[in-house]
Structure 1
Amino acid sequence: MPYLVECLASVEGQTLDPARMEVIAVDDGSTDGTGEYLEEFAARAAMPVTVIRQENSGGPSGPRNVGLGKAAGRYVFFLDADDRLGPEALARMVAMADKNNTDVVLGKVEGINRKPPQSMWGRTLDRTDVFSSNIKFTLSAQKLFRRSLLEHHGMRFDESLWTGEDALFTMEAYLRADGVSVVADYPCYYLVGRDDGKHVTKSGSYTLRFDSARALMNLIADMVPAGPRRDTLMVRPFLVTLLPQFGPKFLKDGDDVRAKKMELARPLMDAHWNPEIARRLRVHERLRLHLVAVRRPDLLLDVVEFVRAKKQAGALLEKRGTRVYFAYPHFRVKKAGVPDWIYLAEPREARAVAGYREDAANTFLRRAVRRLRRSLPTREVKAAAA
């Protein structure tokens, strides 16, 4: 409350026939009148409404699992109590899933006092997957899921996680889905920034973020064989979940917290970090994670301070302009021992540098090698590369 009032109003305002909808509302131990308001809503709503009231569970996983266990529809949609739907949201998403026989549908998200993910809304996609689109950068639970997919695989939210449980659930759904659709031409979901700032994703100890990263990395490693496809997905937990722990806040952390963060990161870096993931990141992102991987917090502090100050790293062009190095701290400082390739800009970043000439031959060769890797067994690829 009062966000719930507008949330439920957006449900009543759906253009989808109420006879095709059911609402399962789980009151997770609220103390602000939410339960009573839900009962009032159930009494007047045109669609069937089930209200479940329970002791507070401490996180969103338990209530979502309770609701999912009661659901009977062909599709389920998880709607947070402080957000709301666009009027045509459910009708458009159900129509998209029915038209394309896809198992997950993403509806465009717009923010109200809060910045939503943006890179996946470039165009509407009837059918895509997690490898060939940017949907890996939106892993919140606010998607339309085919319920038979979830039941067939026994999918539920991990109640041991206090944050990032939706990322785990949604990534698994992407990987198991027979196709994913994207509705990018209509605002289906409004992500509301609360005035009190009390969002689950912004609360809790930093250790919870490492738990979340570990769970998602392990899921990806378990479900996707080693190679370029796994590396593509691993970018997400490294970039979105792990890297922020070594951002500006790291400068304010005490020595004990810094040491603890390095300790928590160590098994994740040892198990999953590799040069192919590193090359998919921008130079300053790659540099920070490399310094975490090699246990150099002393060097890391200089880089974080440089990035926090929004300084522009000098660009060094070599090999007749076909290579660009960004001279972030410790570049070619022998004592630091950071390899040159960590500072080497990939073409997508290098193109912004005046004088850069993309090496067409090398670009063609890299693409050819990637195609070869996808088409041949690992042993043959190694032989061809040699």
Structure 2
Amino acid sequence: MTQPDVTVVIGAYEAMPYLVECLASVEAQTIDPGRVEVIAVDDGSTDGTGEYLREFADRAPMSVTVLRQENSGGPSGPRNVGLGKAAGRYVFFLDADDRLGPEALERMVAMADRAGTDVVLGRVEGVNRSAPKSMWGRTLERTDVFSSNIMFTLSAQKLFRRELLDRHGIRFDESLFTGEDALFTMEAYLRADGVSVIADHTCYYLVGRDDGKHVTKSGGYVLRFDSARALMNLIADLVPEGPRRDRLMVRPFTITLLPQFGPRFLKDSDEVRRHKLSLAQPLMDVHWTEGVAARLKVEERLRLHLVAEQRLELLTELLEFVRTKQQAPAVLGRRGRRVHLAYPHFRDRTAGIPDSVYLASPREARTVPGYREGGARSVLRRAARKARRVLTPSRRTTPDGSAAAA
């Protein structure tokens, strides 16, 4: 039997009626059906999901295997079961309530074969829900997690070279009930020999369920801290200290941890607030660095600084300010080349927060009237202009009115 090019792994739990369009999108793929196998794992559904999968297997033009198991409580188990049975050169994880775009598999496999990369990201669009956007600026045949925005899409719906996953034993962590795909995908990015991005063709539709049961919306706040801890530890294990690690740490700090100390924090009981701070403290102690802080917006940096310092009262006051959607006044210094954003407690001696926490990034500062961009590049430009003045001969006027070098 010829090895399939791609195995589509579908973990399905109570997926009706969304499963109908999901499987239709698989059946409509333009890639030769002989190059595809589908492994669908019914995770203990009771709504007809299993029956519909078996009907699909009977009529589908490609090889379809349907497995049934007792409910595992999360997406990791079914995905691992499907991955363990996969025979394809590549594996694609398709959620049962989402759907593939036209030509998705054909384009992604062709990209991986042409570029020799281990992971391929196909453009994602949201249907009744948001989808990541910052990584789709242009198609990239070969990039990596340090020189692109792919770290901001860590969902599992990507094409992975199966040999990469098997060689490193990359599997979904079944102890996590949220963020398990972020851990899996980040490890694949870091171990991959190149990543490709297809930005000019929608390969995946992320569908928002009307019943609100999408897995990423479930789980309490403790699970979010578990997810942040796991991702931070993975990054620290695989990337040496320095700017590259700091850059990747921005992802778990801003996407996973920071929302726990956003507007919802004001609605939490005092007990929950203190519990969240206690859960965050070991993460801040180990992974919060100046390099990470410098990459954040002032308001984000200030929030996390107060979390690191366990300043509950000041954090609450800051969030009340943010909730009113007030603009923090800009304070210019160094002849307009430095901007501080005066959020609450700026230069308040009692609070004792360093000015550096309020220092605007160049992107934030450029929106402030009167700001003059400084930094190393500006210094070099000024030095170059001075050198040209010194090296260029001055001109003087001769008695006949012509110019001559001095």
The DSSP-based 3-state class of the residue aligned with 1:355 is coil
> Quick check: 1:344 aligned with 2:359?
yes
Q: CA deviation at 1:360?
A: 4.0
Aligned residue in 2 for 1:256: 271
> Quick check: 1:53 aligned with 2:78?
no
Equivalences for 1:76-95 in 2 at 5 Å?
A: 76-95=91-110
Q: CA deviation at 1:115?
A: 0.5
Equivalences for 1:335-374 in 2 at 5 Å?
A: 335-361=350-376
Q: What code does the residue aligned with 1:49 have?
A: V
Q: What code does the residue aligned with 2:224 have?
A: R
Equivalences for 1:150-161 in 2 at 5 Å?
A: 150-161=165-176
Q: What code does the residue aligned with 2:52 have?
A: Y
The DSSP-based 3-state class of the residue aligned with 2:171 is coil
> Quick check: 1:232 aligned with 2:256?
no
Deviations along 1:316-369, one digit per CA (max 9) or x if unpaired, are 11110001111111111111111101000011111111110011447668xxxx
Q: CA deviation at 1:198?
A: 1.3
> Quick check: 1:146 aligned with 2:157?
no
Aligned residue in 2 for 1:187: 202
Q: What code does the residue aligned with 1:226 have?
A: E
What percentage of aligned pairs have identical amino acids? 78
Equivalents in 2 of 1:297, 1:284: separation in Å? 16
Deviations along 1:148-174, one digit per CA (max 9) or x if unpaired, are 000111111000000000000000000
Deviations along 1:183-210, one digit per CA (max 9) or x if unpaired, are 0000000000110111211111100000
Aligned residue in 2 for 1:66: 81
The size of the alignment, in residue pairs, is 365
Aligned residue in 2 for 1:315: 330
Equivalents in 2 of 1:196, 1:328: separation in Å? 39
Equivalents in 2 of 1:92, 1:51: separation in Å? 26
Aligned residue in 2 for 1:28: 43
Structure-2-length-normalised TM-score: 0.89
- Counterpart of 2:237 (choices 207, 222, 232) is 222
Aligned residue in 2 for 1:275: 290
Equivalents in 2 of 1:258, 1:225: separation in Å? 33
Q: What code does the residue aligned with 1:72 have?
A: A
- Counterpart of 2:281 (choices 238, 262, 266) is 266
> Quick check: 1:300 aligned with 2:353?
no
Deviations along 1:69-115, one digit per CA (max 9) or x if unpaired, are 00000000000000000111111100100000000000000000101
Which stretch of structure 1 is more off in the superposition, 203-212 or 300-309? 300-309
Aligned residue in 1 for 2:121: 106
Equivalents in 2 of 1:278, 1:272: separation in Å? 11
Aligned residue in 2 for 1:371: none
Q: What code does the residue aligned with 1:90 have?
A: L
Equivalents in 2 of 1:302, 1:324: separation in Å? 22
Equivalents in 2 of 1:284, 1:165: separation in Å? 28
Q: What code does the residue aligned with 2:282 have?
A: P
Residues 341/362 of structure 1: CA separation in 2 closer, same or farther (3 Å cut): farther
Deviations along 1:47-80, one digit per CA (max 9) or x if unpaired, are 0000001100000000000000000000000000
Aligned residue in 2 for 1:5: 20
Q: What code does the residue aligned with 1:118 have?
A: K
The DSSP-based 3-state class of the residue aligned with 2:94 is coil
Gaps of 5+ in 2: 1-15, 381-406
Equivalents in 1 of 2:379, 2:269: separation in Å? 47
Q: CA deviation at 1:308?
A: 2.1
Aligned residue in 2 for 1:245: 260
Aligned residue in 2 for 1:370: none
Q: CA deviation at 1:309?
A: 2.0
Q: What code does the residue aligned with 1:285 have?
A: E
Deviations along 1:100-148, one digit per CA (max 9) or x if unpaired, are 0000000000000101010000000000000000000000000000000
Aligned residue in 2 for 1:380: none
The DSSP-based 3-state class of the residue aligned with 1:141 is coil
Structure 1 or 2, whichever has the larger Rg, is 2
Equivalents in 2 of 1:91, 1:354: separation in Å? 50
Gaps of 5+ in 1: 366-386
Residues 91/254 of structure 1: CA separation in 2 closer, same or farther (3 Å cut): same
Structure-1-length-normalised TM-score: 0.93
The DSSP-based 3-state class of the residue aligned with 2:106 is helix
Q: What code does the residue aligned with 1:121 have?
A: W
- Deviating beyond 4 angstroms after TM superposition, the runs of 4 or more aligned structure 1 residues are 362-365
The DSSP-based 3-state class of the residue aligned with 2:45 is coil
Higher helix content, 1 or 2: 1
Equivalents in 2 of 1:127, 1:43: separation in Å? 39
Equivalents in 2 of 1:226, 1:20: separation in Å? 43
